[in-house]
Amino acid sequence: MPDECIFCRIAAGEAPADVVYEDENFIAFRDILPQAPTHILVIPRMHIASSAELGRGQEQLAGGLIIIAKSLAEKEGMAHRGYRLVINCGSEGAQQVPHLHLHLIGGRQLSGALG
Ligand code: AMP
C-alpha cells in the first residue's frame, strides 16, 4: 500500500471518509466535492493506479466496480431515474487521484457533455 495514496489510506481506515459500502475487496465512499446530489466513488482495496494498469485475470475486480455501483444506485433511489458511471484515466482523462475508482453520479439531470 503506497503510504501517500489517500484512497489506500481510506481503504485502510486511516483517513476519514463517508463510507457507504465495503467488503473484502472493495470500498465505496461519498466524494468530498460532490458534482451531484449523489456522488460516490467505488474503489478496489488493492492499489491499482488506473484502468490502464488492469490486466487479464482482473475481470472480477473490474466488473465488481460496476456491480457495486449499480447496487448503490438502487439504494440511492436512482435505478429508474438514471445515473452516470465514470472512470477517468491518466492525464488527458483528467484523473486526479492515482488509485482506480469508479464515479457514481446522479440525483439530478446530467448534461450530455462529457468533456
Ligand atoms: P478523478 O478526477 O477521477 O481522479 O476524481 C477524484 C475524485 O476524488 C474527485 O472527485 C475528488 O473530489 C475525490 N476525492 C479526492 N480526495 C477525496 C477524499 N479524501 N475523500 C473523498 N473524495 C475525494
Task: State the pLDDT confidence band at 114, using cuts at 50, 70 and 90.
Answer: confident
Q: Which residues line ligand 1 (CB under 6 A)?
A: 6, 17, 29, 31-33, 41, 88, 94-97
Nearest residue (by CA) to ligand 1, atom 17, is 32
Pocket test for ligand 1, best of 8, 86, 97, 114 (most atoms within 8 A of CB): 97
Average pLDDT score over the chain: 97
In terms of CATH, what superfamily is 6-106?
HIT-like (3.30.428.10)
Written as one letter, the residue type at 115 is G
Contact criterion met (CB below 8 Å) for 86 and 106: no
pLDDT digit string, tens, across residues 12-29? 999 999 999 999 999 999
pLDDT of residue 66: 98
Task: State the pLDDT confidence band at 2, using cuts at 50, 70 and 90.
Answer: confident
Pocket test for ligand 1, best of 32, 87, 88 (most atoms within 8 A of CB): 32
pLDDT of residue 113: 87
pLDDT digit string, tens, across residues 25-61? 999 999 999 999 999 999 999 999 999 999 999 999 9
Predicted model pTM: 0.97
Is residue 85 classed exposed, middle or buried when 0-12, 13-18 and 19+ CB atoms within 10 A define those classes? middle
pLDDT of residue 45: 98
From the CB of residue 16, how many other CB atoms can be counted at a distance below 10 Å?
10
Asked whether residue 1 carries a pLDDT value surpassing 80, the answer given is no
What percentage of residues in the chain have a pLDDT greater than 90?
95
Q: Is the dihedral of CA 31, 76, 68, 55 positive or negative?
A: negative
